[in-house]
Every structure is written in structure tokens, then in C-alpha cells.
Amino acid sequence: MDLYLIISFIYLISSFLYCTHLWTQNQKVSAWGLNTIKIGVALHSVSLIIIYLKGDTIAGGLDRSLYFFSWFIAIVYIASQSRFKASVLGAFVAPLAFLMTIPSVILPQGIIEHDSSLRNPWILIHIALVFLGEALFTIAFIAGVLYLFQEKQIKSKRLGTFLMKLPSLTSLDQLNHVCLVTGFPLLTLGLALGLLSAKEIWGTFWRWGPKETWSVVTWFLYAVLIHGRLATGWRGRRAALWAVVGFGVVLFTFFVIGYFAPGRHDFLGTY
């Protein structure tokens, strides 16, 4: 059986377990969901190593980029559980990992030819750092959405049983904060390494391509959020809203710009 299919199926099983936990609040089911997603990440890691050793591009087309990105998201979620124990996030992360691995299962391999520079170790590190930073922003986004939902329900006095299953507002705000202050330096380092690599490989630091420009827009949005968090004490609703808006720009840059805008960073292989 294809390894991509096995990994995707494991994430699907984890999704089912986490959604069952969300419905029943059975802690054993939550533990099974976490163990299952750990198995998925382990096999996911093996598959990425195989891709690299074969000399293939780990992150180039939409399928490979989503596949690589989903690995980081799952890893960040697993790491967050050691501190925050917010198992309810698994009901969002596991299905997301499943959906993001589907293109690698259904799309024929080798239909897109990629520039050999994408196999350059420094380019790969650049991509990995950016994806890791954005994976942390993904968890911050989920925490922000849950914060806004819970706050709205509390203010409207709709204290249903589902609300009792969510982490406290304080825990969600802390998770948002940790993910943002960890993810932003990684994104910054990744973008800086990308500039240096571009100079070495293509002879110029910057060409104002659509993806590059929107990456800078994303960086500035998160810079404002980090400044607000650390310098002016943004917390709660305002920080959650900015995390949601910032991630919206990440999605726009990743999918809309990455797919439709021509340039070295699109998903069509025209580097």
C-alpha cells in the first residue's frame, strides 16, 4: 500500500478519535487520538526522509508543499500538548493534516517539474523555517477562533455543554501568545535566509515577485501583533482577532498568490 495513503488514513483515524472525544469527553479516546497522530507524524517523517534521499523536491508543487506543511502543523500540535493539554485542538489539527495530505495521495507523482535549486539545502532550510513559523501561526489561529467563539458565548450567556469542553480563555490566550512569539522569529529567520539564498542562486536579493511581496505584508502584520503583545500589552480579544486576520493573509499568500501568480514561488513549476 502507498505510504502517502497510509499516512493520510492514520490522520483520518486520529480525526475520528478526536471528534469522538469532543463529543463524549472520554479522556481515553483523546489519548488514542494523540497516540495515533504521533504514529502519523513518525511515518510522515520517514516519508519525507525517503523523498529527500531519492533526490526529489520536498516542497515544490501544491501537493508537496501542503504535505510538508501538514507535517509541521502536526508536530507543533503534539509539542503544544506537553504544556497546554488542549486536546480539543486535535479535533481541528488532525482533520487539517488529513486534508492537506490528500493531494499527495490523489495527484499523479511527477506531473510538475521543479527547478533543481529547490533541492539546495539552504533553500530547503528557508522553506522549513517559514513553514514551521506558519505552523505555529496555524495553532495560534485555531486558539484565536476558539477564544472569540467562547468569549461571544459567555457574553451572550449561552453556557452550553460544548463550552465546558473548551480550554479556558486564559489558556487559549497563553497558547496564542506562545505560538506567536515563537513563530515570528522563525518566520523572520526563514525570510532572511531566503533573501541570502536568492542572492547566491539567482544573483539578486529581491525582485518584487507577488509571493515575495505578500510574504513581507504577512511579516509586517505579525510584527504589529508581536509589538502589540510585548510592548502595549495586547491580550484577549484584540490579540485573537489579529491572529485570525494574520492567518487569513497567510492563507491568501499560500493558496491564491502561490497558485495563480507567476514567479519563482508559484505551484506550477515555473521558477
CA 194/CA 235 separation, integer angstroms: 32
- Residue 86 sits in the same domain as residue 170: no
- pLDDT, position 152: 87
Q: Are residues 156 and 220 in the same domain?
A: yes
Mean pLDDT value across residues 148-167? 79
Mean pLDDT of the chain: 85
- Mean pLDDT over 205-226 rounds to 80
Q: Write out the residue range of the structural domain in which residue 2 sits.
A: 1-111
Single pTM value for the model: 0.88
| pLDDT grade for 160, boundaries at 50, 70 and 90 | low
Q: Angle, nearest 10°, between helix axes 27-53 and 90-106?
A: 30
pLDDT for residue 90 is more than 80: yes
Shared domain for 223 and 200, answered yes or no, is: yes
Residues 104 and 9 in one domain: yes
The last residue of one of the domains, among 76, 111, 146, is 111
Q: If we measure between CA atoms, which residue out of 113, 101, 169, 177 comes closest to residue 139?
A: 177
Considering the domain architecture, whether residues 171 and 58 belong to the same structural domain is answered as no
Query: 50-84: b or e for each residue (b if 16 or more CB lie within 10 Å)?
Result: ebeeeeebbbbbbbbbbbbbbbbbbbbbbebbeeb
Looking at 83, 111, 139, the residue that finishes a domain is 111
**Cβ-based neighbour number of residue 259 at 10 Å:** 12
Domain boundary among 55, 85, 111: 111
Average pLDDT over residues 17-42: 91
Tens digit of each residue's pLDDT (9 = 90 or more) over 60-81: 777 888 999 999 999 999 999 9
Same domain, 135 and 236: yes
Residues 22 and 72 reside in one and the same domain:
yes
* Residue 104 shares a structural domain with residue 140: no
- Cα–Cα dist 101/44, whole Å: 10
pLDDT digits (tens, 9 = 90+) for 231-269: 887 888 898 999 999 899 888 887 777 666 555 555 444
Q: Return the higher-pLDDT residue of 54 and 93.
A: 93
> What is the percent of the chain where pLDDT is above 90?
46
pLDDT confidence band for 109 (50 / 70 / 90): low
136 and 251 share a domain?
A: yes
Based on the fold, state whether residues 130 and 263 are members of the same structural domain. yes
234 with 123, same domain: the answer is: yes
What total number of domains does the chain contain?
2
Task: Answer yes or no: do 249 and 122 share one domain.
Answer: yes
